């Protein structure tokens, strides 16, 4: 592969509410067995990209732990590998990453040392499958300076949290607005960009001289009329999990047969860190319908239309409905959970009731674990 990968995984979003308190969005568990960053890492590995840099900043402990070995995504190679860059204090810089461009600028020596001609910049909070080689071929074919992967959102979907794009008939981007209140178009940027490595270095150095630190507003939008910036449309499943509602919906999407087939059955597969958990166990009284259950779960009661992540224990006579239960949650007997996201490593006492009435309720208790 003629490109290196950069994953911007430092971000936090207040719209994740309590969920992003203890981890970066890129480390959010997704689809029962995965974490958000697994999707982009697997895409890179499956596209035969050998060198990937992950730029982290916000609450990176959980993410660093997940990335502690690169072997799960087949990056443990002599050539290339997986690099994790946390912000560090150096002789001439004591800033945190002040923006996405700054995050890359502070690691510009890494960019300069590589020999691959192209760079693929992505974020760690999107759920999709993609062969980046196809985007690169498109980029080369269009003789583009920058290619932005974009997506047509459905009618009536809120696009105000994305960069909104308008293209001409040749797919050249003529308008690019960052998070507009009212938008003219339903096409959004997915935060995946391809450009030449030398070009990126030049742009980053120029922005740094002007004290500009954001890749989208300070580079993409400013260069829009000067450089050839093209859009590549993704037609398959793509979802951004950076708000509590979309996070919930993305997980529930996995209950659809076509989404499940696309991510679980079709090659290439998504890889993740293996946890060595035993298979899921269903005791007498379990009644599980239209739900996903990950390994290590023990279930004693009713579960409907829900996603249970790894190592969830469900006690007797519970009802769990339309909910997402994250990793390692203990649910005591006679508990009712409906329209909730239960934060990981929680212990829910017996005889409790949690129900999201309008919208999704995020449950995060700090009870002591009392196991058998």
Residues that bind other proteins (CB under 8 A): 31-34, 71, 254-255, 260, 263-264, 270-272, 274, 276, 278-296, 298, 307-309, 372
Nearest distance, CB of residue 346 and other proteins, angstroms: 18
| Residue 172 DSSP label | B
Place of tokens 């739900």: 291
Residue 309 CB, shortest distance to other proteins, in Å, is: 8
Nearest CB to other proteins, comparing residues 192 and 270: 270
Cβ neighbours of 245 (radius 10 Å): 13
- Cβ-based nearer residue to other proteins, 174 or 274: 274
Name the phi and psi angles at 38, rounded to 5: -60, -35
Query: Minimum Å distance from CB 136 to other proteins?
Result: 28
- Per DSSP, the three-state class of 92 is coil
The Cα–Cα gap between 203 and 17 comes to 34
Compute CA 98 distance to the chain's CA centroid, rounded to the nearest angstrom: 21
Task: Rank residues 182 and 372 by Cβ distance to other proteins and give the closer one.
Answer: 372
Place of tokens 């224990």: 313
CB of 330 to other proteins, least distance (A): 13
At 111 the three-state DSSP class reads helix
DSSP string, 167-191: E-TT-BEEEEEES-SS-S-SEEEEE
Q: How far is CA 156 from the centre of its chain?
A: 23
The distance of closest approach from Cβ of residue 33 to other proteins in the complex, given in angstroms and rounded to an integer, is 5
Q: Which helix (H) or strand (E) holds 188?
A: strand 187-196
Q: Give me the least distance between CB of 354 and other proteins, in Å please.
A: 22
The helix (run of H) or strand (run of E) holding residue 42 is helix 36-46
Please state the φ and ψ torsions of residue 45, each to the nearest 5 degrees: -60, -45
Q: State in angstroms the smallest separation of the CB of 315 from other proteins.
A: 13
Q: How far is the CB of 30 from other proteins (least distance, A)?
A: 11
Q: How far is CA 180 from CA 163, 246, 249, in A?
A: 8, 19, 23
Nearer to other proteins, 114 or 273 (CB): 273
To the nearest whole angstrom, how small is the minimum distance from the Cβ of residue 356 to other proteins? 22
CA 180 – CA 145 distance, rounded (Å): 25
Q: Which is nearer to other proteins, 168 or 290 (CB)?
A: 290
Quick check: bond before 23 cis, omega within 30? no
Q: Which CB atom, from 104 or from 324, has the smaller least distance to other proteins?
A: 324
CB of 336 to other proteins, least distance (A): 20
d(CA 112, CA 127): 30
H or E stretch including 68? none
Nearer residue to other proteins within complex by CB, 190 or 291: 291
Q: Which is nearer to other proteins, 89 or 371 (CB)?
A: 371
Specify the residue, 178 or 266, whose C-beta has the smaller distance to other proteins: 266
- Return the structure tokens found at 326: 């994250």
Q: Between the CA of residue 71 and those of 74, 98, 159, 271, 362, what are the distances in Å?
A: 5, 31, 37, 10, 33
Measured from the CB atom, the residue of 129 and 197 that comes closer to other proteins is 129
């Amino acid at each position: 592969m003629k490109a290196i990968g950069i994953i911007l995984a430092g971000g936090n979003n207040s719209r994740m509410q309590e969920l992003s308190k203890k981890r970066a969005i890129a480390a959010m568990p997704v689809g029962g067995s995965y974490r958000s960053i697994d999707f982009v890492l697997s895409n890179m590995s499956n596209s035969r990209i050998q060198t990937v840099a992950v730029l982290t900043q916000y609450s990176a402990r959980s993410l660093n732990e997940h990335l502690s070995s690169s072997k799960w995504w087949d990056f443990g190679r002599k050539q290339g590998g997986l690099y994790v860059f946390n912000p560090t204090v150096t002789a001439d810089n004591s800033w945190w990453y002040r923006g996405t461009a700054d995050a890359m600028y502070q690691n510009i020596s890494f960019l300069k040392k590589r020999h691959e001609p192209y760079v693929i910049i992505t974020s760690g909070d999107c759920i999709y499958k993609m062969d980046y080689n196809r985007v690169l071929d498109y980029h080369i074919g269009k003789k583009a300076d920058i290619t932005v992967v974009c997506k047509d959102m459905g009618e009536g979907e809120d696009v105000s949290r994305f960069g909104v794009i308008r293209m001409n008939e040749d797919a050249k981007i003529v308008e690019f607005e960052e998070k507009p209140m009212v938008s003219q178009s339903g096409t959004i940027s997915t935060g995946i960009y391809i450009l030449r490595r030398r070009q990126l270095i030049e742009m980053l150095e120029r922005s740094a001289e002007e004290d500009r630190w954001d890749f989208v507003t300070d580079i993409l939008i400013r260069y829009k009329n000067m450089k050839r910036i093209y859009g590549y449309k993704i037609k398959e499943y793509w979802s951004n999990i950076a708000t509590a509602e979309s996070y919930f919906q993305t997980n529930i999407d996995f209950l659809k047969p076509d989404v499940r087939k696309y991510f679980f059955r079709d090659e290439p597969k998504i890889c993740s860190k293996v946890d060595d958990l035993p298979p899921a166990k269903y005791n007498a009284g379990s009644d599980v319908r239209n739900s996903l259950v990950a390994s290590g779960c023990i279930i004693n009661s009713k579960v409907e239309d829900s996603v249970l992540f790894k190592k969830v224990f469900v006690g007797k006579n519970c009802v769990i409905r339309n909910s997402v239960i994250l990793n390692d949650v203990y649910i005591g007997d006679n508990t009712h959970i409906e329209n909730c996201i239960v934060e990981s490593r929680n212990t829910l006492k017996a005889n409790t009731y949690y129900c999201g009435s309008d919208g999704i309720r995020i449950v995060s208790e700090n009870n002591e674990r009392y196991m058998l």
